[in-house]
Amino acid sequence: MRTLLVTLLLCAFTTASSQIVVTHFNAPWNDHNKADWIGNLKGCDDIAYVNIVQCPEICKKHKIRTVPTIIIFKDGVEVKRFHGGLNFNVNREATESKIQEIIYQLQPYPEKNPVL
């Protein structure tokens, strides 16, 4: 039942119009590399966390090969993907600022957003 709920929520997040959604794919065994900073992002409409162990069908749909993987969606379409390297880690400083910059660029009026 939980998998169904997560699937429905992710489908809603990635198909709603005029929405920017950041989705973080990870596994419980890789929790020490979880991108906790994602909650600090500004300007996105939603943030979703997908446990790849509990939701393999979502991972297959989005071709998740490494964890963590962070995908930015705009209007249900993938805009940008970031994924961990061989150490199962995403460089926080580089990735967080790049993701925030992309979110600001995707907004309807990017000139009104702060410059990073």
Distances (CA, A) of 65 to 23, 27, 30, 68, 90: 15, 12, 14, 9, 14
Question: How many CB atoms sit inside 10 A of residue 38's CB?
Answer: 19
pLDDT at 4: 46
Q: Which of 43, 49, 54, 81 is nearest to 65 (CA)?
A: 81
6 — pLDDT class (breaks 50, 70, 90): low
Tell me which of 3 and 93 has the higher pLDDT: 93
pLDDT digits over 28-44, tens only?
998 888 888 999 999 99
pLDDT at 9: 56
pLDDT digits over 45-104, tens only?
999 999 999 999 999 999 999 899 999 999 999 999 998 877 667 777 678 889 999 999
Contact (CB, 8 A) for 50 and 9: no
- Indicate the pTM of the whole model: 0.76
Look up residue 54 and give its amino acid: Q
pLDDT at 110: 58
Q: Which domains does the chain have, with CATH numbers?
A: 2-108 (3.40.30.10)
